[in-house]
Structure 1
Amino acid sequence: MNLDKVISGFFIILAMTLNFGFFYGDMNTIASHSKYELFAAIVINLIATILKLGDKTQLGSVLLATSLVADIQLIAAATVWTITVYSIGMNSEIMAIIVSLSGGALLANITSVALYVGDTLKSKR
C-alpha cells in the first residue's frame, strides 16, 4: 500500500463530499447551506491541490487543473457570500448564485475523483 496515494485519495474524496454537503439542499433557502461547511470545503480543496502539485504525469496535470477550478469557484462563492453579507445583506437570489458556484466546483471535484479512480483501476499491482 502506498501511503502517499492513500492520503491524496482521502483528501480528494473528502473535498468532493464536503462540497456536496454544502451544495445539497434547496438552492434558495439560506438555512440549507452552512458557511462553516463552505469554509471546510475550501480548506480541504486547498489541501488536495497542494498534494497534487508534486505529480509530474499527464494525469497529474489534469487532476491539478480540476482542483484549481474547484478552488477558484469555492473561493468565489465565499467572496460573494462575504461581500453581500456586509453590504446589502443575504437573500435567496444571492444564495442561488453561491450554490451555483459551489455546483461548478462539485462538478470539477467529481471529475477529479473519476479520473483518480480510473487511474487507480488502470494501474498494475
Structure 2
Amino acid sequence: MSLEKVFFGFFILLALTLNFGFVLGEFDNPDHHNTYELLAVIIVNLIATVLKFGDRTQTGALLLASSLVADLQLLAAALVWAYAVHVHAGGMDAMFMASIVSLAAGALLANIVSVVLVIIDTVNLRR
C-alpha cells in the first residue's frame, strides 16, 4: 500500500463528503449552510487539485479537469456569498443562498465524477 495513494484517495473522498455536507439542507435557507464549511470544502478541493498534478494519463487529465471545475464553482460560490454579505444592500437572502448552494451542487457533481474515475482506474489496475 502506497502512502501517497492513501493521501490522494483521502483528500478526494474528503472533498466529496464535505461538499455533500455543505449542500445538504434547504437550498434557500442560510441557517442550513455554514460559511466555515464552505471554506473547508474550498481548501480541501484545492489540496485535491494539487495532488492531481503530474499524472500524464488520460484518466489523470479527466481527474484534473473535474477538480478544476469543482474549484471554479466553489470559488464562484464564495464570491457570491461575499457579495451578498458585504456589498449587497439587502444582505444575504434566499435568492443568493440558492445560487451559492447551486454552485456548490455543481462542484459536488464534479467531485462525484472524480471519485468514480478513481474507482474505475483502481479496478482496471487489478486486472
TM-score bucket of the superposed structures, by smaller chain: over 0.9
Match of 2:113 among 108, 111, 114: 111
Runs of 4 or more consecutive aligned structure 1 residues displaced over 2 Å after TM superposition: none
- Structure 1 length as normaliser, TM-score? 0.97
Equivalent-residue separation in structure 1 for 2:7 and 2:31 (angstroms): 32
Paired AA for residue 123 in structure 1: L
> Cα offset for 1:124?
2.5
Paired AA for residue 102 in structure 2: S
2:12 maps to 1:12: yes
The count of corresponding residues between Structure 1 and Structure 2 is 125
**1:87 match:** 87
- Structure 2 length as normaliser, TM-score? 0.96
Unaligned runs of 5+ in 1: none
> Cα offset for 1:5?
1.0
Paired AA for residue 34 in structure 2: S
Unaligned runs of 5+ in 2: none
SS at match of 2:20: helix
Equivalent-residue separation in structure 2 for 1:3 and 1:62 (angstroms): 23
Equivalent-residue separation in structure 1 for 2:82 and 2:23 (angstroms): 17
Paired AA for residue 47 in structure 1: I
SS at match of 2:126: coil
